[in-house]
Structure 1
Amino acid sequence: MTKTNGFPLKIPFLADLGVQCTRMDKEGSEIELALETRHQNSWDMAHGGVLMTLLDVAMAIAGRGADPDGRGVVTIEMKTSFMAPGRGKLIARGLCVHRTSTMAFCEAEIVDADGKTVSRGSGTFKFVKRVPPQRAASGASDTGADG
């Protein structure tokens, strides 16, 4: 059986980072990451890309959890604000604040072990069927989920 770290699907990138999903339901999401040296920037704190990944995933999981049809989501856009250094164990919580038939509008926050806000984000996610897009022949554009 493939280890999914609590996620509903196998996501190799998140498994490689060590991200754990502890909650995904219609009320929101929660994921965790115990920072290691490999997650840090030159100032010995969480790299901004790691924080953005946590926010993106927390929001995407919240969007998926809010969809009664169980579709996947793809990120359309996201905004991130960095507020404090990320160190130790980080917890990201996501919430779907509005949903339409095709989009989820979500927010997420990352806190450290002391409950201090490290980063916040908001994003727009498009619902898609759980079929990865196929690569087009060389020189042609990719065909997305809408085909």
Structure 2
Amino acid sequence: MTQSNAFPLKIPFLASLGVQCTRMDKEGSEIQLALEQRHQNSWDMAHGGVLMTLLDVAMAIAGRAADPDGRGVVTIEMKTSFMAPGRGNLIARGQCVHRTTTMVFCEAEIVDGEGRIVSRGSGTFKYVKRMPPQRASAGAADTGADG
């Protein structure tokens, strides 16, 4: 399934960042972010956390797309390498490199508008059935994970 500027699920964090999903299919994923001042560190380049978010999401989307059962994924571990300053329009592409019945192993790369590699990542994701968040009793803090 190919998506056009929309994620298959409502993800408020990504919406607030301005991330757009431009591809989600069995071949992988592609997401984009037009870098703004709010995404930058003190050196006027993409903050490392923004880059890690893009890599994580690109890999997660690729992992979800590779699952014939349509399950969700949660990140188990992730490695990131920063190679060049991220500026301008950033494109992250993810792909599934191996699947088991319970886990998926993915890689992703971020390039800038001129095609220069900004960052690369690899990650392990666990397949999960999407379930509603568990809510604490009235008045208690929500102790659920990042759902």
CA deviation string 1:16-52 (max 9, x = no partner): 0000000001110000000000000000000000000
- State TM-score, norm by structure 1: 0.89
Q: Which amino acid aligns with 2:59?
A: M
**For residue 90 of structure 1, what is the aligned residue in structure 2?**
90
* SS of 1:115 mapped into structure 2: coil
Q: CA deviation at 1:57?
A: 0.1
Q: CA deviation at 1:134?
A: 1.3
1:96-107 equivalence runs, <5 A: 96-107=96-107
CA distance in 1, matches of 2:134, 2:70: 21
CA deviation string 1:51-89 (max 9, x = no partner): 000000000000000000001000011000000000000
1:110-125 equivalence runs, <5 A: 110-125=110-125
- Seen in structure 2, the aligned counterparts of structure 1 residues 76 and 135 have a Cα distance that, compared at 3 Å, is farther
Structure 1 gaps, min length 5: none
CA distance in 2, matches of 1:142, 1:30: 29
Q: CA deviation at 1:132?
A: 3.8
* SS of 1:15 mapped into structure 2: helix
**For residue 41 of structure 2, what is the aligned residue in structure 1?**
41
**For residue 13 of structure 1, what is the aligned residue in structure 2?**
13
What is the percentage of aligned positions where both structures have the same residue? 84
Q: Is 2:58 the counterpart of 1:58?
A: yes
CA distance in 2, matches of 1:34, 1:71: 29
* SS of 1:30 mapped into structure 2: strand
Q: CA deviation at 1:5?
A: 4.1
CA deviation string 1:85-135 (max 9, x = no partner): 000000000000000110010000000001000000000001111114414
Q: Please tell me the root mean square deviation across aligned C-alpha atoms, in Å.
A: 2.0
* Equivalenced residues, count: 140
Structure 2 gaps, min length 5: none
The runs of at least 4 aligned residues of structure 1 exceeding 4 Å deviation read 135-139
**For residue 129 of structure 2, what is the aligned residue in structure 1?**
129
CA distance in 2, matches of 1:49, 1:65: 24
